[in-house]
Chains A and B, each alone.
Chain A
Amino acid sequence: DSGVTQTPKHLITATGQRVTLRCSPRSGDLSVYWYQQSLDQGLQFLIQYYNGEERAKGNILERFSAQQFPDLHSELNLSSLELGDSALYFCASSVAGRSAGELFFGEGSRLTVL
Chain B
Amino acid sequence: AQSVAQPEDQVNVAEGNPLTVKCTYSVSGNPYLFWYVQYPNRGLQFLLKYITGDNLVKGSYGFEAEFNKSQTSFHLKKPSALVSDSALYFCAVRDMWRDDKIIFGKGTRLHILP
User: Do A56 and B105 touch (CB < 8 A)?
Assistant: no
Q: Which A residues lie within 8 Å of B44 (CB)?
A: 43, 90, 92, 103, 105
User: Do A45 and B103 touch (CB < 8 A)?
Assistant: yes
User: Do B43 and A106 touch (CB < 8 A)?
Assistant: yes
User: Do B46 and A43 touch (CB < 8 A)?
Assistant: no
**Complex Cα–Cα for A108 and B43 (A):** 6
B74 located at the interface, meaning its Cβ lies under 8 Å from any Cβ of chain A in the complex: no
Q: Which B residues lie within 8 Å of A90 (CB)?
A: 43-44
Select the residue from B32, B42, B43, B104 with max chain A CB neighbours within 10 A: B43
User: Do B101 and A56 touch (CB < 8 A)?
Assistant: yes
Q: How far is the CB of B15 from chain A (nearest CB, A)?
A: 27
Q: How far is the CB of A22 from chain B (nearest CB, A)?
A: 15
Q: Interface readout for B42-57 with A: 1 if CB under 8 Å, 0 if not?
A: 1111100101000000
- Give the top 5 A-B pairs by smallest Cβ distance, nearest first: A42-B106, A105-B43, A43-B104, A102-B46, A100-B51
Using CB atoms and an 8 Å cutoff, list the residues of chain B in contact with chain A: 32, 34, 36, 42-46, 49, 51, 90, 94, 96, 99-107
